[in-house]
Amino acid sequence: KHAAKIRLDDVKGEQSREKDKADRATSEQVLDQRTRMILLQMINRGFVSEVHGAISTGKEANVYGAVAYPDLDGPPIQRAIKVYKTAILSFKDRERYITGEHRFKSGAEKGNSRKMVKLWAEKEFRNLRRIHSAGIKCPEPIQLKLHVLVMELLGDRKGYAYPRLRDAAISGDDSEEVWRSLYIQLLGIMRRMYQVCRLVHADLSEYNILYNNRQLYIIDVSQSVEHDHPRSLEFLRMDIKNTGDFFRREGVDILPDRVVFDFVTV
């Protein structure tokens, strides 16, 4: 029924798109056997039909483009698959998010990196679901299996992902006005995330926000914490500072951090 096709050359890290050689050289290793089995299982179940090349290769995860054909003759749906890496090193930094997070019941998992990546993927999945349900623009979470998360691709119908806010090409006569309205939009998102989702992003910056057509999309929420996490307000202040700094550099007359903090939390 499904065009069950896995382009293993792509999955191995070959870029399916035209990309320069330097990019290709850095673009990551072969997927391990377990990960490939999970991808094949997802193909068999129809969550995805084809897995393409890497959109992003990071320290803690790789993100791949993928396509699903839910209906025989229907249009393809673009998806993104985030594969968390089992490297222990990348999880050292993350301890501060776990300590005090009641969703990580015990610290017993700390030594087991397979369990750890599974927990991170789970946390991202649940946070995305909460954020998406609250009407905040973010990838819709589709499917989770161990350390592999399938979500909606934020991109065009051809599978090109939207740029990060960092790389957004915003120009023209009204660019000043656009930047200002994006700043206001982000304040609203932070407030809604706090008030409705009861979450603090905790790694919010121009790198974890995607941009298209005057809309901001929130991504990368595996480290986001509940508002009752003992350090949530510290993380919130950091989010406010980082995003404020960015918008200031883009020429926006930003509000003082304190004022934003009160707007978000009160």
From Mn ion, ligand ADP, none, interface partner of 164 (C-beta below 5 to 8 A by class): ligand ADP
Q: Is 50 in the site for Mn ion (CB under 5 A)?
A: no
Q: Is 203 a catalytic residue?
A: yes
Q: Rule CB under 6 A: choose which of 58, 76, 100, 188 binds ligand ADP.
A: 58
From Mn ion, ligand ADP, none, interface partner of 155 (C-beta below 5 to 8 A by class): ligand ADP
Mark residues 197-236: x for contact with ligand ADP by CB under 6 A, - for none.
Answer: -----------x----------xx----------------
Q: Is 220 a catalytic residue?
A: yes
Q: Are the CB atoms for 50 and 58 separated by under 8 Å?
A: no
From Mn ion, ligand ADP, none, interface partner of 138 (C-beta below 5 to 8 A by class): none
Q: Is 101 in the site for Mn ion (CB under 5 A)?
A: no
Pairing of strands 209-212, 215-218: antiparallel
The count of other CB atoms within 10 Å of the CB of residue 48 is: 26
Q: From the candidates 9, 220, 257, 262, give the one annotated as an active-site residue.
A: 220
For ligand ADP, give the closer residue by CB, 117 or 260.
117
Q: Is 60 in the site for Mn ion (CB under 5 A)?
A: no
Q: Is 208 in the site for Mn ion (CB under 5 A)?
A: yes
Site for ligand ADP, residues 244 to 263, rule: CB under 6 A: none
For ligand ADP, give the closer residue by CB, 209 or 264.
209
Q: From the candidates 73, 203, 239, 245, give the one annotated as an active-site residue.
A: 203
For ligand ADP, give the closer residue by CB, 153 or 260.
153
**Residues with active-site annotation:** 203, 220
Q: Given the rule CB under 6 A, which residues bind ligand ADP?
A: 55-56, 58, 60-61, 63, 80, 82, 139, 151-155, 161, 164, 208, 219-220
